[in-house]
Amino acid sequence: MLVSMKQLALQALDFALRPGVSYADVRVIESRERELSTKNGRPGQVSSAESQGLGIRVLAEGCWGFAATDELTKAGVESAAKLAIEIARSSALAKKRDVALAPEEKHEAVWVSPCRIDPFSVSVEEQLGLLLAVDAELRRNPGITLAQTSMGFHRDRQVFVSSLGSVIDQTRTTSGAGFEALSFHEDEIQKRSYPNSFGGQHQLKGYELIQELALLEHAPRVAEQAVALHSADQCPEGRFDLILDGSQLGLQVHESIGHPIELDRVLGSEANYAGMSFLTLDKLNTLRYGSELVNAVCDARLEHGPGLGTFAFDDEGVSAQRADIIRAGQFVGYMTSRETAAAIGQTRSNGTMRATGWARLPLIRMTNVSLLPGEQTIEEVFGGVSKAIYMETNRSWSIDDKRYNFQFGCEIAWEIRDGQRVRMLKNPTYSGITTEFWNACSAVANRDHWVLWGVPNCGKGQPEQVIGTGHGASPARFHDIAIGAAYGG
């Protein structure tokens, strides 16, 4: 199969390299996925899918053309190549300037992500049995109205070839699972999730991740908290020191650091879906993004961790890299492609182009955008002030189309006095302005508490592409943050 995928890719490249084409690349992809879920003791979704196809990208007359096909015959591949060239030449009729690409080396590599237990070797019956056991454990608590669980696995094998001479074979396996307990009482619904909301935790791992999560062991605690929230006090409104757990802070990084640093948003080629960015080019190396404790990177290397944004090469054949984004509070970098790097005078892309599959054009996408761990112990984060509000697990998010003004809601909170939890709080929210919020960072927990979280459902582009991203974070404290109760009392 390795030879056939490679031959198919090289055949497509030959068809694409016609007179007038200055650059071409091809991605041949085989995908396999499995999704399972339960709802109140019954199977919900139990599905699997496989696909194979290729996408061809060409640069002709200074413009991009892209076409894809799952008709993997000589005629089908040749037709797709001709269409990609035709689209590029048609686009040239309206171009403002020629596309220029930052240089890149030729790469030849075979890379397979670490996967100790192949999730597709574990039977559907065993996987569904675990979910049903978790579901039943949640419903043992009489206050639980709705129990839901989910589990998902995905494997992509991609052969990339380009006119630079690159031939790259990559296989990535991702796994994820989680559950949620909802309790309805009077006119209020409370919810608790594990290990995170919106699908749980997802990483570049095999079935070993499911074992590590110990889903069944955490079910009683999660159900108990969901019910207890009905009797909890309403989160107070005002300005307080705020402590965020790592999973919520990961989403904060996603929305208020990850999206704004996508250089296509800054340059305006991505605007209709979720807006542009406040991080205009004049802010590079001049903006004080956060306090000196704030250090953020975009890192696709395996050394960073098993993230959904971890790979060996991006989808235009650029090797995985670590790029500083915020260094000691200073804004120092964007996520770039070969085209956008050249557009702002940089000599190389930092390798963030990805597509959801063979039928989509690669876009600048978050890899693992992470807040680096600090030097404080967890006791120092919680005990550094006399009073604070600690929030866990995202419930809702809202941010404007420049990624500047935001409001987040969490599932649960606690009032902290002198480092100790003194009471549970329900319906917590906080809001702010991106740069003011990060400049208010007053403590970041050390690596002992740092986790690389997975967001499996980041949307971008038209037609929409949903892709996984990674966000490392440890609990952190922020001074004088607007905290409210947007869900009502």
Span 306-357, pLDDT tens digits: 999 999 999 999 999 999 999 999 999 999 999 999 999 999 999 999 999 9
On whether both 195 and 277 belong to a single domain, the answer is no
Distance between CA atoms of 426 and 337, rounded to whole angstroms? 43
On whether both 344 and 457 belong to a single domain, the answer is yes
Pairing type for strands 476-484 and 363-364 reads unpaired
Q: The domain that contains 130 carries what CATH number?
A: 3.30.2290.10
* Res 6 pLDDT > 50: yes
For residues 243-254, give the mean pLDDT: 98
- Residue 145, in any domain of the structure: yes
The pLDDT tens digits for 185-217 are 999 999 999 999 999 999 999 999 999 999 999
| Spatial CA neighbour of 137 closest among 230, 356, 129, 381 | 129
Domain boundary among 198, 214, 231: 231
On whether both 302 and 204 belong to a single domain, the answer is no
For residues 76-103, give the mean pLDDT: 96
* Res 21 pLDDT > 80: yes
On whether both 294 and 441 belong to a single domain, the answer is yes
| Spatial CA neighbour of 416 closest among 475, 471, 487, 473 | 475
pLDDT at 104: 98
Q: How confident is the model at residue 485 (pLDDT cuts 50, 70, 90)?
A: low
Domain boundary among 179, 208, 231: 231
Distance between CA atoms of 398 and 396, rounded to whole angstroms? 7
- Average pLDDT over the chain, rounded to an integer: 96
On whether both 217 and 356 belong to a single domain, the answer is no
Range of the domain at 67: 2-231
On whether both 371 and 461 belong to a single domain, the answer is yes
pLDDT at 1: 41
- Residue 353, in any domain of the structure: yes
On whether both 253 and 377 belong to a single domain, the answer is yes
* Res 268 pLDDT > 90: no
Q: How confident is the model at residue 489 (pLDDT cuts 50, 70, 90)?
A: very low
On whether both 421 and 313 belong to a single domain, the answer is yes
The pLDDT tens digits for 375-414 are 999 999 999 899 999 999 999 999 999 999 999 999 999 9
- Residue 38, in any domain of the structure: yes
The pLDDT tens digits for 293-316 are 999 999 999 999 999 999 999 999
On whether both 213 and 253 belong to a single domain, the answer is no
To 5 degrees, how large is the angle CA 476–CA 456–CA 155? 130
On whether both 251 and 189 belong to a single domain, the answer is no
Positive or negative, the CA dihedral 209, 212, 216, 221 is negative
- Residue 489, in any domain of the structure: no
- Residue 458, in any domain of the structure: yes
Alpha helices in 306-369 (DSSP H): 338-343
- Residue 410, in any domain of the structure: yes
Domain boundary among 231, 248, 279: 231
H or E element: which one contains 432? strand 429-433
- Residue 411, in any domain of the structure: yes
10, 40, 54, 72, 260 from 14: Cα distances, Å: 6, 54, 14, 15, 38
On whether both 403 and 439 belong to a single domain, the answer is yes
On whether both 338 and 220 belong to a single domain, the answer is no
Alpha helices in 279-390 (DSSP H): 338-343, 378-383
Do residues 236 and 308 lie in contact, with contact meaning Cβ atoms separated by under 8 Å?
Answer: no
pLDDT at 2: 42
* Res 105 pLDDT > 80: yes
Distance between CA atoms of 29 and 81, rounded to whole angstroms? 16
More confident residue, 119 or 1: 119
Domain count, the chain: 2
In the numeric block, the tokens 């569904």 are attached to: 128
pLDDT at 272: 72
Residue-level length of the chain: 489
pLDDT at 488: 46
- DSSP letter, residue 362: -
* Res 487 pLDDT > 80: no
The pLDDT tens digits for 127-184 are 999 999 999 999 999 999 999 999 999 999 999 999 999 999 999 999 999 999 999 9
For residues 246-262, give the mean pLDDT: 97
Distance between CA atoms of 347 and 193, rounded to whole angstroms? 44
- Residue 386, in any domain of the structure: yes
